[in-house]
Every structure is written in structure tokens, then in C-alpha cells.
């Protein structure tokens, strides 16, 4: 399958109080992914529910991207205090990741709270992931540049099991740690999945 061009941008979301002691993040990285968005203001990383049911064995994801990092990088020393950042002399980078993970298909049928999905909180660390690949070069690209992400199988693929495939792109690669540069912009186009 293929996706049309998408644009994602990192924003300065100000870190303002929403209610009582609940703040918005100072840095909100733009994210484009396949899956479900279900807002959780108490843990924003859990809002992104990654992946769609996938019954083939993916080998690679190809596509094109261009990227421009924002001018001022904000580093968040403590992700629990995501409304507080300090400016650092770092250049922002984008990220594109592909993850194939096992899930309980029977439980998912009645899963109205999306608990069977991996999220922004755990997609990079979960032992449910059986294969993954991440973009090695997230630096500025003025023109569309081709990428190919070959999946690395950590565990054996079993066609009897149920899997979800997640493609996750971000305009700030450390956006899940609430760090990045406002104004960082990633364009992504012509994404295709190559299956066995």
C-alpha cells in the first residue's frame, strides 16, 4: 500500500496550565503515523496508538522525505516535567520508524480503550515488537531524498500469530522525550511497504 504526502511540524505549545496542575508540553513534536489517536491529557504519549492489523510479512518500507530543522532546540531534562525546557546548542533531527508487533486479536475485538496497542510511551522498548527499522540519517534534506528501511527481525515471524504494523514519523526524533525545535518540518511522500 502507499500513503500520500504528509507534512509534520514541531510546535512551541507554550507549556501552559490546562487545568489545575495539568500543563501542556512546552514542545509538541509533529507525528504522522498509522493507527489511532485517542487523547489522554494525563499521559500524552499514550494518546498515539500505533499500528494496523497486518497479515503479511513486511521486509522493508521505502519512500521519500525532506526535512528542515527549526532554529532553536529545546531540551527537556525531565520528561515528567514536560512543560520545562532549556535551550541547547543542538540541531534537531527527524525520525521515521517501522515496527511490527504481536497483539491479542481476540482481546482487541472488544478493546474500546485501545489497551492492545503499543503507544508513544512503549513502542521503542516493548518485547511485543518482533521486527523494526529506523531512519539512520534524520538531518536536513532540502530536496526529497529516498529512504529504505529494511526490517530487522528480533523474533521469528509466525503466520499463526496476529501482528500490527506501525509506521511512525516525527519532525523531532526526541519528541517522545518532549525535546525538539519549534519550526522543524518533515515532509514524507510515496511510502510503500515491501512484503515477502
What's residue 21's pLDDT?
77
Let me know: does 164 contact 54? Beta carbons within 8 Å.
Answer: yes
What's residue 18's pLDDT?
78
Let me know: does 100 contact 131? Beta carbons within 8 Å.
Answer: yes
- The cell for 138 is 534524520
Q: Find, among 3, 50, 5, the residue nearest to 168 by Cα.
A: 50
What's residue 99's pLDDT?
98
What's residue 4's pLDDT?
61
Supply the pTM of this predicted model.
0.93
Residues (pLDDT < 50) of the chain are: 1-2
Let me know: does 89 contact 73? Beta carbons within 8 Å.
Answer: yes
Let me know: does 170 contact 184? Beta carbons within 8 Å.
Answer: no
Let me know: does 9 contact 187? Beta carbons within 8 Å.
Answer: no
Distance (Å, rounded) from C-alpha 44 to C-alpha 30? Answer: 13
Amino acid at each position: 500500500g502507499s500513503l500520500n504526502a504528509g507534512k509534520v511540524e514541531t510546535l512551541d505549545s507554550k507549556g501552559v496550565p490546562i487545568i489545575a496542575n495539568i500543563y501542556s508540553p512546552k514542545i509538541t513534536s509533529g507525528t504522522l503515523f498509522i493507527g489511532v489517536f485517542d487523547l489522554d491529557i494525563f499521559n500524552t504519549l499514550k494518546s498515539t496508538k500505533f499500528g494496523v492489523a497486518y497479515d503479511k510479512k513486511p521486509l522493508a518500507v521505502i519512500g521519500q522525505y525532506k526535512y528542515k530543522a527549526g532554529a532553536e532546540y529545546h531540551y527537556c531534562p525531565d520528561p515528567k516535567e514536560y512543560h520545562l525546557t532549556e535551550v541547547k546548542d543542538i540541531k534537531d533531527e527527524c525520525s521515521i520508524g517501522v515496527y511490527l508487533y504481536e497483539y491479542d486479536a481476540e482481546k482487541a475485538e472488544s478493546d474500546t480503550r485501545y489497551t492492545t496497542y503499543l503507544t508513544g510511551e512503549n513502542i521503542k522498548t516493548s518485547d511485543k515488537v518482533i521486527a523494526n527499522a529506523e531512519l539512520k540519517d534524520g538531518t536536513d534534506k532540502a530536496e526529497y531524498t529516498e529512504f529504505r528501511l529494511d526490517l530487522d527481525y528480533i523474533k521469528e515471524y509466525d503466520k499463526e500469530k496476529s501482528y500490527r504494523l506501525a509506521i511512525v514519523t516525527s519532525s523531532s526524533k526526541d519528541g517522545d522525550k518532549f525535546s525538539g525545535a519549534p519550526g522543524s518540518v518533515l515532509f514524507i511522500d510515496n511510502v510503500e511497504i515491501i512484503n515477502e
